[in-house]
Amino acid sequence: MLSSKTIRLGTTTAVLFTILSFAGEYTFAEQRPERIASTHLCTDQLLMLLAEPERIVSLSYFASNPDMSMMAESARPYPVNHGLAEELVLQKPDLILTSQFGSPSILILKSLGYQVLSVPVALTLEDIRENIQTVADAIGVPDRGREVVRQFDFELNQVSAPFHEPRPKILIYEANGYTTGKRTLQSDILEMAGFNNLAVDLGISGNQYLPLEALVIHPLDALMTASDYEQNSLAYEVPNHPALRSAFENVPTVNIPGKIWICGTPFVSDALRLLTEFRIEVVQSVQ
Amino acid sequence: MSMLSVNNISVSRRGRIILSRLSFSVHQGQLIGLIGPNGAGKTTLLRALSGLQAVESGQVSFDGKMVDRQNRQEVARKVAYLEQNSRSYWPLSVENLVMLGRMPHLGQWQRPTATDWEIVHQTMQTCDVLQFARRPVTTLSGGEQARAMLARALATEPEILLADEPIAGLDPAHQLDVMDKLQELVAEGAGVVVVMHDLSIAARYCNRLTLLFEGKVTSEGDAATVLSAQNLMQCYGIDAHFGKMDDELFVIPRNRL
Amino acid sequence: MNVHTHKTTLSYRALMLVLTALTLIAFICSLSVGPAGIKTVDMLYALLSVEPSTAAVIVQEIRLPRALLGLLIGAALGLCGAAMQGYVRNPLAEPGLIGVSASAALGAVITIYFGLSAMYVWILPFGGMLGASIGVAVMMAIAGRESSALTLILAGVAVSTMAGALTSLALNLAPNPFSSLEIVFWLLGSLANRSFEHIWLAAPFILAGMALVLTLGRALDSLSLGEDTAATLGIDLRSVRLKIILGVTASVGAATAVAGAIGFVGLVVPHLIRPFVGHRPSRLLPASALGGAILLLFSDVAVRLISLGVELKLGVFTALIGTPIFLWLILRMRHQYV
């Protein structure tokens, strides 16, 4: 493992020929990592929320993509990585954050002795709280973690539905006719906003193709699309099938950009706010 | 003296009988012409003799021992098989193609010796393909290719050669060349079975003919015995002109019956 | 007459010498290229260095395994492509023909699907190799014991199609967008971020498989004349068939398990080399192995040099350059294979 001392030294000497110390006395838990890299969009955002900017050595190249990242602007000043082992070795991180489905470079870096934290994909709001605290503890800022979680809970409270009946039936219509059901962050948030996710009633779990017939049998109160882009791609076009058209006709529709909740970050409260407002509209239009 | 024989073999394919309790043998020093109409079972018999065709009953033996119990490469050194319309899937040079005939004599990693090359070039000369030595075999004409393939089989220097229509598609001059070569081979002590349709050439060159019809040997013996008007009518369904010139029988098919 | 013979032998030696030299150059290029921008001289110094400098770590632990895998996998694909084309006597055959690539990919994808691949380096390639073995066992069961090259192709196509369908199913049912992205990226083929653990796992299988295939030169030569004539030349067709299946499964299965599906190398390289060895399958085998290593190593250098913001996937690159080469070959050779 690299000690923080040699790393500070390393930044001032020639990058290529710094001798790394592989001293055995250093263990991760005892010393706070000072040079942190992230190779995954989701950990990029958690890291920016929690760490002091000078401790971030690089973020994945997705972090500054405004179509995918909620923090594209903030990410711009940081160096980027493409998940390549060689880049990361050059950046000399003493902690690398990644997701469960991170880049394969993580394994080679692990075997080279780098400290790696693999953060699971968040499927519930509780997962988000846990992930925030996990990252905060790992980078030695547990108090900052608790503060971010507290702030997150406060925002959720501010924007969640004040009443829970009636629960309009809603469906998420995604690119190429996919929908989102059980065991997803989206479903958790729809629930909290006072909606009833039709996909869950249909027994759909995760991201699955939408059965057209079921849709005709169960009429919708509301529809949610998930377009990230200003210009609609063909995949996102409102469906042309007659059965779908009649199901979607005159149904109030909201668009929640996918980037809000593709990652489990506190920004999902924005989605909750948009959905809570939308539900009030829907309930009023029904009455 | 080597002898390749089948004894009482039967072969059928999808319920159709191809060979039925058939016995046949070839000795060193014999040039046997295997004749008969299309579908009579000539190729199947040749394949059975070479060990390619599994038989349902009966035995295939070489030198008194069952062929399938003998060392494959040892048999390959002594029995060569020239497929009908044999062709090369890759544009190998003619000399490399003919060298394949030496393969049974070479060990797994052994390179051809000067002697092997000498034999290859000699057989190429006798088959009149030496001038094509470096040419890709696929650029030769059909007749030229057929001669190159014969050279390949001869390069093995086999004791027994099984040749399936080696002169089909050759011009008359090269037909005679090939038959002369086969005769020479027999004179040197080899045994040859040659499938052919030219009855006059068969009569002239072969010292024995075997007429196959519907999976059975209909007639066997010298040309005068086998090429009878009766046999030709029964097996080929033709009637023919028979003649003799310089004591050699010739047959010209005349009418289909 | 012997003058001729010696001449061909000499030109073959010259060809092998040129190919070996090119392989060496490609290998050094592969060690020299990367984001760290280490000069070739410094790279060679770092390669031999015993001190754990950053350059030494990069060259020894990151670039060296990548270059070695490029060498091994390229050689395996080139060799097995040549062997398969020789065995089925069809210039369109490729190493994955018997279903090995598709089933190796399926095995690997399953480990990603269940999130196992992130646990240890060896899990994904191990899954790939297991997939390859199962796929080929199924293929052999379908083809039967006495099958000819043609039934082998058909059984291989059946297994490839099935494995491909199951891979698509895994993608279809992927638990979240990140795992599907991971699967897709893996399927595109890459040598990036491979470590020595990959080599220790794959190299024994790749090398053993290649050794087995290399013994088939003479049998493949005689198969130029068809299966019947080859059999009468003393070739044991059943043993040839078993050896080619085992050899290709071990080497291509392990190669796919480590690097994903890298197409076109095994298809194109034998074609490029064939005219230089007088179309002889036995000589094509070693020459194609070197040719495959050269093509894959240079392709892997190219994906690192072409800057599109993100590293191009190796399998995508080989397909991009392979297709035009292949079309050119078809146009040039059209008269030969009519």
pLDDT in tens, chain A (287 residues): 333 333 333 333 332 222 233 333 334 445 789 999 999 999 999 999 999 999 999 999 999 999 889 999 999 999 999 888 888 998 999 999 998 776 667 878 888 889 999 898 898 999 999 999 999 999 999 999 999 999 999 999 988 767 767 889 998 887 667 788 888 899 999 988 989 998 898 888 887 777 777 777 777 888 888 766 544 444 445 555 666 666 677 788 888 888 888 899 999 999 999 999 999 888 887 66
| Interface contact B47-C228, CB threshold 8 A | yes
Strands B248-256 and B238-245 turn out to be antiparallel
Q: What's the token pair of residue C243? A: 């050896």
The minimum CA-CA distance between A86 and chain C, rounded to whole Å, is 6
**Optimal mutation site among A2, A80, A108, A116, interface C, most CBs of chain C within 10 A:** A108
Q: Which of A237, A21, A33, A260 is nearest to A128 (CA)?
A: A260
DSSP 8-state class, residue B164: E
Q: In chain A, which residues touch C (CB < 8 A)?
A: 10, 15-20, 22, 40, 61, 82-87, 89-90, 92, 99-108, 111-112, 118, 121, 184, 206-209, 262
Residue C180 · residue C174 · CB < 8 Å: yes
Dihedrals phi, psi of B166, to nearest 5 degrees:
-70, -20
C61 near B CB under 8 A? no
What rounded mean pLDDT belongs to chain B? 92
CA distance B168 to B134: 25
B133 near C CB under 8 A? yes
| Interface contact C53-A90, CB threshold 8 A | no
How distant is the alpha carbon of residue B87 from its chain centre? 16
Dihedrals phi, psi of A165, to nearest 5 degrees:
-130, 145
| Interface contact B90-C89, CB threshold 8 A | yes
Is B101 contained in some domain? no
A169-286 CATH:
3.40.50.1980
How many CB atoms within 10 Å of residue B251? 20
Provide block-wise average pLDDT over 10 residues at a time, chain C (338 residues).
Answer: 47 94 96 84 85 85 93 97 92 87 92 81 88 91 79 90 92 76 86 88 95 96 94 93 93 92 91 92 96 96 82 88 84 64
Structure-token match 């990361």, residue found: A88
C92 near B CB under 8 A? no
In which band, very low, low, confident or very high, does the pLDDT at B20 lie, cut at 50, 70 and 90?
Answer: very high
Dihedrals phi, psi of A169, to nearest 5 degrees:
-80, 125
Smallest CA–CA distance from B113 into chain C, residue: C2
The pLDDT value given to residue C104: 93
Nearest to C54 among A84, A90, A121 (CB): A90
C50 near A CB under 8 A? no
Q: What's the token pair of residue A258? A: 């996918």
> Which residues in A lie closer than 8 A to residue C118 (C-beta atoms)?
100-102, 106-107, 118
Nearest to A16 among C54, C115, C310 (CB): C54
> Which residues in A lie closer than 8 A to residue C36 (C-beta atoms)?
16, 86, 89-90
- Residue ranges per structural domain of chain A: 34-156, 169-286
The pLDDT value given to residue A287: 63
Nearest to B100 among C215, C222, C336 (CB): C222
| Interface contact C192-A17, CB threshold 8 A | no
**Predicted confidence (pLDDT) at residue B195 exceeds the cutoff of 80:** yes
The minimum CA-CA distance between B117 and chain C, rounded to whole Å, is 7
C2-333 CATH:
1.10.3470.10
| Interface contact C225-B100, CB threshold 8 A | yes
Q: Look at chain B and report how many structural domains it folds into.
A: 1
Is B94 contained in some domain? no
The pLDDT value given to residue A241: 64
> Which residues in C lie closer than 8 A to residue A82 (C-beta atoms)?
309-311
Sheet holding A196-197, edge to edge: A196-197, A169-173, A222-225, A253-255
Q: Which residues contact C265 (CB under 8 A, 6 or more apart)?
A: C74, C77, C78, C81, C292, C295, C296, C299, C318, C322
A12 compared with B131, residue with greater pLDDT: B131
Domains A34-156 and A169-286 share a fold: yes
- Give tens-digit pLDDT for B36-83: 999 999 999 999 999 999 999 999 999 888 888 888 899 999 999 999
C11 near B CB under 8 A? no
Dihedral sign computed on CA atoms, order C219, C223, C229, C231: positive
Is B18 contained in some domain? yes
| Domain span holding position B184 | 3-86+158-256
How many CB pairs (< 8 A) connect B and C?
Answer: 84
The pLDDT value given to residue C308: 65
Strands A253-255 and B57-62 turn out to be unpaired
C215 near B CB under 8 A? yes
Is B143 contained in some domain? no
- Which amino acid does the sequence have at B146? A
- With contact defined as 3+ CB pairs under 8 Å, the chains touching A are C
String of b and e for B2-27 (b: at least 16 CB within 10 Å)?
A: bbbbbeebbbeeeeeebbeebebebe
* Beta-strand runs (E) in chain B: 3-13, 16-27, 31-35, 57-62, 65-66, 79-82, 160-164, 191-195, 208-213, 216-221, 238-245, 248-256
| Interface contact C233-B76, CB threshold 8 A | yes
- With contact defined as 3+ CB pairs under 8 Å, the chains touching C are A, B
| Interface contact B96-C278, CB threshold 8 A | yes
Is B232 contained in some domain? yes
C234 near A CB under 8 A? no
User: Residue B235 is part of a domain; what is its CATH number?
Assistant: 3.40.50.300
Q: Which residues contact B16 (CB under 8 A, 6 or more apart)?
A: none
Topology of domain A34-156, CATH: Rossmann fold (3.40.50)
Chains C and A: 3 or more CB pairs within 8 Å of each other: yes
Chains A and B: 3 or more CB pairs within 8 Å of each other: no
C204 near B CB under 8 A? no
Smallest CA–CA distance from B96 into chain C, residue: C280
The minimum CA-CA distance between C57 and chain A, rounded to whole Å, is 8
Is B77 contained in some domain? yes
Question: Which pTM value belongs to this model?
Answer: 0.83
Question: Residue A46: CA atoms inside 13 Å, Cβ hemisphere, count?
Answer: 40
Q: Which residues contact C141 (CB under 8 A, 6 or more apart)?
A: none
C325 near A CB under 8 A? no
Nearest to C279 among B91, B134, B152 (CB): B91
Question: Residue C159: CA atoms inside 13 Å, Cβ hemisphere, count?
Answer: 30
The minimum CA-CA distance between C91 and chain A, rounded to whole Å, is 35
